[in-house]
Homo-oligomer: A and B are copies of this chain.
Amino acid sequence: MLTIRQLRYLDALARCQHFGRAAEECAVSQPALSMQIRELEEFLGIDLFERRPGAPVLTEAGIEIAQRAGAILSATRDLVDLAHHRAKTLSGTLRLGVIPTLAPYLLPHVLPRLQQEHPDLRLELLETLTKGLLAELGRGTLDVLLLALPVDAPEFETTHLLVDRFLLAVPADDPLPDNARVTPRDVDTRRLILLEEGHCLREHALDFCAKARINSNASLGATSLATIMQMVACGYGVTLVPEVAVDVELRDNRVKLLRFAEPQPSRGIGLAWRRTSPRKADFALLGQMVVSAVNGPGPRRTH
């Protein structure tokens, strides 16, 4: 008889590639997990793992089965969540994933209000790159993501919340006048500093300034916008700053921000969740909060 427990152990083992660690993750002894995996293999009539001395490695069939097991586990989590959170919006535990180029700028506005207006909500946060967030979302270990659109995955739904324009940050002594409308060409003639590989903001910037690609200097190893702004302040180059980050990052008068001429580069910001998620009402509310958090604290700075 197939059991959910077997699928859970399979899922853990597929990820850990190690019986002992998988057992630990499942909070059972290693033999217990071993037995269940064996029974599963017996029931299915196929080997899921090659028992190699080093690490157990999934067979081809095992990969497919493990993937389906993951999907089933995700569906069961949603079922249980639905039962627990039915009707009471924004209560219980909500696991939110946010990309690094949004979290420091949006969360400080959203979290306090969320705490205040929904005291029975326990928010768990994960900040990492889009790719990682999507994986966690699919596994069901995250409920909803706050990220840059579009999300190209049919199993997820998204809503658009706002458009976040990019501004060009240049050293204060740059010859461009303060009220200039810059173009990709202006970027092209300067050294463009970008976040390290994997940040979607980096991709957005490169999409817009394709010609500037050769000028971007990855060896500088910038891992946060704050660091990049420091680099700009010191005259190492220029960068694209998302509008949402301006309030936080523009504390240094050695940097000035310039608007782009139309079409202005921008990114869409929105939420993403599993199409099957039972908490869509929660997400709608959360989305409203993010929007009003951005628009709320005074008129937005544009320049």
Task: Spell out A's residues near B (CB within 8 Å).
Answer: 1-5, 43-46, 61, 64-65, 68-69, 71-72, 75-76, 78-80, 82-84, 86, 276, 278
- What would be 20 A-B contacts, judged by CB atoms less than 8 Å apart? A1-B4, A1-B5, A2-B79, A3-B3, A3-B4, A3-B5, A4-B4, A44-B80, A44-B84, A45-B83, A45-B84, A61-B83, A61-B86, A64-B278, A65-B79, A65-B83, A69-B79, A72-B72, A72-B76, A72-B79
In the complex, A83→B64 CA distance in Å?
9
Instruction: Please give 17 more A-B residue pairs, beta carbons under 8 A apart, in addition to A3-B4, A68-B79, A75-B75.
Output: A2-B76, A2-B79, A2-B80, A3-B3, A45-B83, A46-B83, A46-B86, A61-B82, A61-B83, A61-B86, A64-B82, A64-B278, A65-B83, A68-B276, A69-B79, A72-B72, A72-B79
Q: How many copies does the complex hold?
A: 2
Pick from A65, A76, A79 the residue with the most CB of B within 10 Å. A79
**B contact residues around A83 at 8 Å (CB):** 44-46, 61, 65
**B contact residues around A61 at 8 Å (CB):** 82-83, 86
In the complex, A88→B64 CA distance in Å?
16
CB distance from A11 to the nearest CB of B (A): 12
Considering only CB atoms, which chain B residue lies closest to A60 in the complex? B86
**B contact residues around A4 at 8 Å (CB):** 1-4
CB distance from A81 to the nearest CB of B (A): 10
Pick from A43, A68, A71, A278 the residue with the most CB of B within 10 Å. A68
Considering only CB atoms, which chain B residue lies closest to A72 in the complex? B75
In the complex, A278→B278 CA distance in Å?
26
**B contact residues around A65 at 8 Å (CB):** 79, 82-83
In the complex, A58→B25 CA distance in Å?
36
In the complex, A287→B34 CA distance in Å?
41
Q: A2-B4, A3-B4 are in contact. Are A75 and B82 (CB under 8 A)?
A: no
A78 touches B84 (CB 8 A): no
Pick from A1, A44, A65, A72 the residue with the most CB of B within 10 Å. A72
Considering only CB atoms, which chain B residue lies closest to A68 in the complex? B79
A68 touches B78 (CB 8 A): yes
**B contact residues around A69 at 8 Å (CB):** 79
